[in-house]
Structure 1
Amino acid sequence: MLRVLETGSRIAAGFAFVALMVAVITQVVGRSIIGDSPVWTEELTRFALLYLAAFGAGLSYRSGELVNVDLICEALPGAWPHRLRLLSAILTAVLCLGLILPAWKYTSIGALQTSTALGWRMDAVHATMLVLLVSLFVFSLGRAVNMLCGRTDGFPERRPGDDR
């Protein structure tokens, strides 16, 4: 299940990045060649960045690209680093779970609003917070479960070919 979510998140982040590139290129060409860029490019850029962050946050947690302050934790003796990685995964899952309902309410408020330039319903944009929290919840819960089952040591998962 985590692999399916990872693949889906990678594809969605890729689409968001393509949308971001199209909007920015349109802005640059519009401003430098035409003298004015379409107004919708500003909104699309912001929305694409939100989706990129939403789909990328869980992936970053899974791969270890999020900021880690493990300098002290990993220097502790014995099983303490493992315990702290487990505690961190559990606390991340609990925090995300606690924020999912408020994010759902925030998203539903957007159904009553539309964006100015694109005319999109804002619940489609506000849903980025829900996507981010659900993604982080699933990946952190997956890490905690895998640690408790002894399938992983709690370090971020590296993909084949990663040289770091």
Structure 2
Amino acid sequence: MIVAMAELAVHERRSNKFYTTMKETKHICKTNDSVLGLTFDYMHTISLPCIPVQELFYYSQLSVFPSDTHNLKTDEARQINTYINDNVLSCVKELHLYSDACGGQNKNNCMIRFLLSLTSNNRFDIIIHRFPIRVHSYFACDRDFALVKCFC
């Protein structure tokens, strides 16, 4: 019992530290134009059209794989590479990323190579990518996805 309570306390401290860091990044972004903080996530697959008829469902199914990038400073949302290319000013040299710790989505070679390409092309001097502990990955992206789910 005591061990479980100690583990819960450590878990809560780690979670609070992560969200405190994200709030600090948000504050730094608002005061320093050379720093940008983004959260990003992938939504579950959406099948279109959303119809309950089984036979027609399997013949005309189109799968959409939505992703979202949410700017901590301006609360704008887009896809990460498009967002960086279209919206991030060249004066921004420090990028803080927050995403869930899903290995298949965010902790993989593709993502690491993408971030390395941003630094090797001198787009950013520093990229910091932070992951929350398990169960505590509710970001602004999830609120954006909730809006999408309303229409499906």
Q: TM-score, normalised by structure 1?
A: 0.30
Return the structure number with greater helix share.
1
Query: What's the TM-score, normalizing by structure 2?
Result: 0.32
Greater strand fraction, Structure 1 or Structure 2: 2
